[in-house]
Amino acid sequence: MKHAPLNRKRKTKDPCPECGLHKNLCICELIPSLTFATKVCLIIHKKELKRTTNTGRLAIKSLTNSEIRIRGGEDRQVLDLSDLLVPTYRTFLFYPSDDAVELDRDLVEQSPLPIQLIVPDGNWRQASKVYTRHTELKDVPKVKISTTNSSIQHLRAEHSAEGMATLQAIAQALQVIEGPQAVEPLMKLYEAKLRNTLIGRGQIQASAGSIPSEKAR
């Protein structure tokens, strides 16, 4: 998914390496372990891995049938994704290009094969390069979710009414493919990430029960 940065009031110091939040605001205890037939493969730029507002990593940590591929390594070698194109999965590129079709139940039910979602993650420029530069994916059908994002607050500025954080978008996609049981734990995790990020920025006040307790961690 694609993001643009919001102006931040504070920079996270010594963040948790797992959830990216300040350790006093850590939400790792809320990361679920979910197993679905659908496979999610996150294609992320190396620079995006360092960003504390990234939510794609949380999706991968939550989904047992998932993996991550990293672009932009120091060796400058082009990442080859051709090994993802296997006949055991029906593969889609989750990217809102002009030729992308809506990910809905009619599309899902066209084949009994499990679905693999290749998900570009990073800012607009980084995500678009997965779409334009990886020629091995040129014949992979593109899908999108056109649901309007009604959230008032965001981790980063969104470029369209449908713009979502990566974790939000993956949750919406899995809700379509796997059913409603997929969306609740992922959205609970996203909402905790958003809330505690805003607390860390000083944009909202912490309320009772909003931060996992030391005992729970």
Strand partners, 176: none
Tokens describing residue 62: 């939550």
Look at residue 31 and give its three-state secondary structure.
coil
In the prediction, which pLDDT does 158 show? 47
CA dist 68 → 57, 59, 102, 115 (Å): 8, 10, 24, 16
In the prediction, which pLDDT does 199 show? 87
In the prediction, which pLDDT does 31 show? 96
Which of 157, 154, 161 shows the shortest CA–CA distance to 195? 154
In the prediction, which pLDDT does 203 show? 67
In the prediction, which pLDDT does 109 show? 97
In the prediction, which pLDDT does 45 show? 86
CB 162 within 8 A of CB 94: no
Q: H helices of 88-181, where?
A: 105-108, 124-133, 166-178
In the prediction, which pLDDT does 104 show? 97
Strands 101-102 and 115-123 come out as unpaired
Which residues lie closer than 8 Å to 53 by C-beta, 6 or more apart? 3, 5, 20, 155, 156, 197
Tokens describing residue 200: 């860390």
pLDDT tens digit at each of 217 positions of the chain: 555 444 444 566 678 988 989 889 999 999 999 999 999 999 998 888 878 888 999 999 999 999 999 987 666 677 899 999 999 999 999 998 889 999 999 999 999 999 999 999 876 677 777 878 888 999 999 999 987 555 645 554 444 444 588 999 999 999 999 999 889 999 999 999 988 888 877 766 776 455 554 434 3
CB 13 within 8 A of CB 86: no
Question: How far, rounded to the nearest angstrom, does the alpha carbon of residue 200 sit from its chain's CA centroid?
Answer: 21
CB 177 within 8 A of CB 115: yes
In the prediction, which pLDDT does 150 show? 55
E strand residue ranges, the chain = 2-3, 39-45, 66-71, 90-94, 101-102, 115-123, 142-144
